[in-house]
Structure 1
Amino acid sequence: LASLFAQFQSSFFLLADEEEVSSPSVWDSIEGHWQELLQQAGMSLLIFASFWVVGKIVQKVLTKVGTSQHIDQELASFIGRTAKIAVLILGLITALSHLGIDVSAMVAGLGLTGFALGFALKDVISNVLAGVLILIYKPFQKDDCIKIKSYEGKVVSTDLRYTVLLSDGLTVYVPNSLLFTDAITVTCDAVTAEPEVESTE
């Protein structure tokens, strides 16, 4: 009986040792998980960096093409920046999805956030969109004399938010949304306008 018990005990410990050797430890499992996570994070950063480079190239190309097509410099820069932001957002979504993150909820959240921001900044957005359309269609040029409602003066510049008028020595900033929705009277253009004669008195 003693010999049988000794054989059973030795066989039990031998099986236990084999199981311990064959099964990975907890630390090995954690280490493997972290290595996999770091590899995914590195690949995600590489993906986002690639999209960032593509966005910069797209921005430069669109800005250069717009300038070569005689599009207003500020409008061409705005189009380039908008395209770059769109590429970066696409790159961020792609990188996060590579990490295994469910981006559908994030996209839905961005949609709701964009709707809220659009509602809060509707006046700013309307001015920007009106500025883009004014720069595209060009209903008036620089140095034209225009009249819009109670504002009248010579056009100094037009950006994405305001059209700057010079009226009786005063600088007037007219919102572009007002210029786009109301009738504009061009009282004199830059070609036919008579030059101002300075008084010698």
Structure 2
Amino acid sequence: MEPQQMETLLSKVSDVIDSKLASLEVKITKQQKQQHEQQMCKIQEVSDKTFVFKRKGNEAQFKFNNTVREKMVQANTHINDGDAESAFHSITEGIELIDNRQKLVKLADSSKNGWRTVQEYTQHELAENEEDEKRIFKAELRAERKMKEERVQKARIQRRARPYPTDPDKPAPERPNKPDGNKKPGTCYKCGYPGHWARDCSGEAQTKS
């Protein structure tokens, strides 16, 4: 083999090796990013579990925001990797989540039972294969029935704690003075003092008179 041919061959081999190394480097970098994102998500999940929400509505909104955020992080990673198709897919999923949330907000606002109807609607979303309008109607009925049951249960607990109804504006009845069994009605005509009769009048009582 001539020196020129040998040089050309070595140059091609070098180009192939460089291309393989570059591809391997990109693959390793991508895997490292994915591992980093997974670790950050796990840390975020642990942090979220340690926080106790006082209101269920706030907890639901927080979880929803986290879900949308994960989609946006995925899209950002795909864009940095030059994967436009995967980035578009993640963004589309995020938009669908927001659209569905907006629908639930409108449902809660238009329902007399508010978010209780939304709760019943979402809990039976996968279990029922019906028209959306029928599912909303059934969710409304379930929410109303459960709220009535809660009111009845609350009233029972209050009755147990206060068995006799009281009127705060009504004064307590006055108790009559208990009569003394030793005292007699009227006034003694000998001494003029009440509480005994003349036949029971003692000399001390007569002295007072």
Task: Pick the TM interval, shorter chain.
Answer: 0.3 to 0.5
Q: Point out which structure has higher relative CO (alpha carbons under 8 A, 6+ apart).
A: 1
More helix as a share of residues: 2
More strand as a share of residues: 1
TM-score, normalization by structure 1: 0.44
